Amino acid sequence: MPTFELPLRLDTTIRPYDWGSVTAMPELFGTEPTGRPQAELWMGAHPADPSIAGGVPLDRLIAGDPVAALGSPAVERFGPALPYLLKVLAVARPLSLQVHPTIAQAEAGFAAEEARGVPIGDPARTYKDRSHKPEMVCAITPFHGLCGFRSPVVTAGLLARLGLPALQPWIDVLAVRPAGEALRTVFAQMLDDAAAPLRAEVERALAGGSDPELAPYAEIAAACPGDPGVVAALLLNHVDLLPGQALYLGAGVPHAYLGGVGVEIMASSDNVLRCGLTTKHVDAPELMRVVDFTPAEPHLVEPERPARGERRYVPPAPEFALTRYDLTGADAFELPAGPPRIVLCLEGEARLGELTLRPGESAFVPAVAGTGLSGKGVAYVAEPGAFTV
């Protein structure tokens, strides 16, 4: 059994979802391509795919001594489980258009499906656990996606530029009615089967257009022809992230990642309600209950810079924060005992005492351990966020 007194090297899994890049992770980590998409590198203790530490799944290891692994404050706040999940994403084509529930919605939805006897592994099951799933992605390469509803008045003008008379009823609703009501009405109608002929017209107009503001949506239409989410995507903000920029996504915010490589961190949950751009189950009534129809700009997280070579991203979610360390070979950073951390080496070499990590490798630093971080390269450190440890 591994000791909690030292950092523990993690054996991790890369998930081969069809939206993943075949080449991005091999290029980033200096590994051989497998010929299959490599979409998500998981680091954490999520029961669906826990990392392995010393031959033991990390969730089981933590369960053996939660206080030593996580620290008393984290156990008291989040229970005897690692509260976050760290990933590297390599996005080559659009992910599903999706939203995540609040804690209250997740608890109620999970209880309802348990009462109905819906198996956890059933593809038609919506709630896999009782947790919310806020998340943040920090761009490694240029990264882009959809995030939150644009002002409906602005969207009305965007739809008008498609030049389709059949869109006028939606344009009128978006231009005149109160924002939340307008977005709810048009969003529901866009996803309805009755709108299939109009959705096909929109796809043809996108394919034949040259408007640069519509170009991201034309790319979505080319990647997901015939999907109801193609037209619904037109209601959402398109956001471009430069390397080092971070985007936070809270409960109810519709979103989809479209392309790029990033480090993602989230509450350790698997609760996803899909709206479109997917062949998976769409629970339309529950989706409409969970979506937040308030228009808002994308929530960019500005990093704190507590020391040279250190950028700390603290979103409004207590379960997680993420810090990037640019290691020069000269200075070492102290990671004192207290919170449970996962350290990922992204470039070069990162040293945690006697443990050396290379690109794509990671380690779990238990709460009781603490360690120095040195080397020459780039490392990301995940830990719980804005609560006292």
Q: Is pLDDT of 2 > 60? A: no
The 10s digit of each residue's pLDDT in 332-360 is 999 999 999 999 999 999 999 999 999 99
Q: Please state, for a pLDDT cut of 70, what percent of the chain lies above it.
A: 98
Mean pLDDT, to the nearest integer, of 82-110? Answer: 96
pLDDT at 389: 41
pLDDT at 14 over 50: yes
Average pLDDT over residues 208-218: 95
Q: For 235-282, what is each residue's pLDDT tens digit?
A: 999 999 999 999 999 999 999 999 999 999 999 998 999 999 998 888
> Residue 265 has what pLDDT?
98
- Please tell me the predicted confidence (pLDDT) of residue 388: 44
pLDDT at 309 over 70: yes
- 93, 222 Cβ separation under 8 angstroms: no
Q: How many CB atoms lie within 10 A of CB 365?
A: 26
Which pLDDT does position 3 carry in this prediction?
67
Q: What is the mean pLDDT of residues 362-379?
A: 96
pTM: 0.95
Q: Quick one: DSSP state of residue 181?
A: H
Beta-sheet strands, E only, within 115-159: 135-139, 143-149
Question: Does the pLDDT value for residue 82 go beyond 90?
Answer: yes
- Report helix, strand or coil for 129: coil
Active-site residues, by number, are 274
* CA angle centred on 367, ends 365 and 371, rounded to 5°: 50
Is the distance from CB of 49 to CB of 13 less than 8 angstroms?
A: yes
pLDDT given at position 284: 86
* DSSP label of 208: T
